[in-house]
Amino acid sequence: VSGVHARLEKKDGNLVVTDMDSTNGTYVNERKLVPGFPVAVQPGSLLIFGDIHLAMFRVRKTIVDVPAEATKDDQQEAKTVLASAVQETS
């Protein structure tokens, strides 16, 4: 997986992933993303970084809501919550 592989964001209640021109690509349900083009990821989708041998996650749901004026502690808590909403598959 690249050092800066992809960006994950919450927009309008959805998880949105953008490939950051990674070397091995980012995939949603085995469909390769176009670098720089954000794509919404629906619950139940597979989110793959590189290929299935590098990192594959099944998205359960998006539950993060962090206000713009959030403190560092709030932001860290949001990252923890997001991490629990994305389940690594094996």
As for how many domains the chain has, the answer is 1
Residue 45, domain member (yes or no): yes
Q: What is the CATH number of the domain that holds 28?
A: 2.60.200.20
The reported pTM is 0.65
Is 47 within a domain?
A: yes
Residue 56 near residue 12, CB atoms below 8 Å: no
Does any domain span residue 41? yes
Q: Can you give the pLDDT at residue 76?
A: 54
Query: The domain containing residue 33 runs over which residues?
Result: 6-59
In a domain, 89, yes or no: no
Q: 35 in a domain, yes or no?
A: yes
Mean confidence (pLDDT) of the chain: 77
Supply the DSSP symbol for 24: S
- Among 47, 86, 48, which residue's Cα sits nearest to residue 78? 86
- Type of residue found at 4: V
Structure confidence at residue 81 as a pLDDT band (50, 70, 90): very low
Q: Is residue 76 part of a domain?
A: no
